[in-house]
Amino acid sequence: MEILPRPPLGGLLTRRGRYGAEGSALPAISAGTFAIAGEPFIYSHIIDSCEHLKEAGMTGVGFIRAYGLHWAWDEVHHRELWGKRGRSIATHRLTNFWEQTGIYVLHDPWGAYYVGQVAEQMIGERLTQHSRPKLSSGKDNPHYKKWTHFSWFGFHALLLPRQPTGITLVKEKRPEALLANIGNTINDVEALLMMTLGTTRVGNKHSEKFTSAEQWDQVTLHELPAAMELAKRQAVEVKSGVRRWPAASSGPL
């Protein structure tokens, strides 16, 4: 792994490993994939350089709106990435995240193996491409069977109200201004790095949370029928006036 020299204060690394402009607050992430060079050093430098900016502009939302950690690829259905929140009919929420866009991390048994992002394509389609033995060009896929789990960090928020089935939908349109608030953006970058690099198990004594994102638990193959049935029961009770839809962030994972 290449370790780059320490940049001047405020100069952060871009996706190609070069320094941004002096005083830059964000790494430049463009379409396609990006790699993290010198992970522990870059992480600490971003936090050291930008900690003082957290006190400003912390209202509004962050650019990560929903996320899932260490989901198993062998539990994924065709065109379905099911996530859930809540354990009872009062708090249950069920969503298919196949059409999300955002940042994703592939994990092998030793940790993070590959990092990429999806802007125009669906995240489910991109993950499927990484799981196939051949690329569309006919060449061997370099990532085939080199990862077993994945984490995702989505840019799309969720819609309300629910479908008659009780399933929450992902918004079709991604916000045009994802990084509108400097304080929230820095907070989300720190949380993203902590979760991706796993530094809460090593040097960080606290775990940062995203400004406005919810964590979703994976629905496994054997859990899906019961989860869908619970969502349908919930929809029936809402329609009859027995209960209301649970609010965002309601209930434990």
Residue 188 lies in a domain: no
Residue 123 lies in a domain: yes
Residue 153 lies in a domain: yes
Whether 9 and 50 have beta carbons less than 8 Å apart is answered as no
Residue 186 lies in a domain: no
Range of the domain at 150: 61-178+217-239
Average pLDDT score over the chain: 74
Q: Which of 196, 41, 13 is nearest to 106 (CA)?
A: 196
Residue 199 lies in a domain: no
pLDDT, tens digit (0-9, with 9 covering 90-100), for 195-246: 877 766 666 666 667 878 899 999 999 999 999 999 999 999 998 988 888 8
Distance from C-alpha of 249 to C-alpha of 244, rounded to nearest angstrom: 14
Residue 113 lies in a domain: yes
- Asked whether residue 252 carries a pLDDT value surpassing 90, the answer given is no
Give Dmax over CA atoms of the chain in angstroms. 63
Q: Where are the alpha helices (DSSP H) in the chain?
A: 39-50, 123-131, 182-197, 224-239
> Domains in the chain: how many in total?
1
Residue 135 lies in a domain: yes
Residue 7 lies in a domain: no
Total-model pTM: 0.71
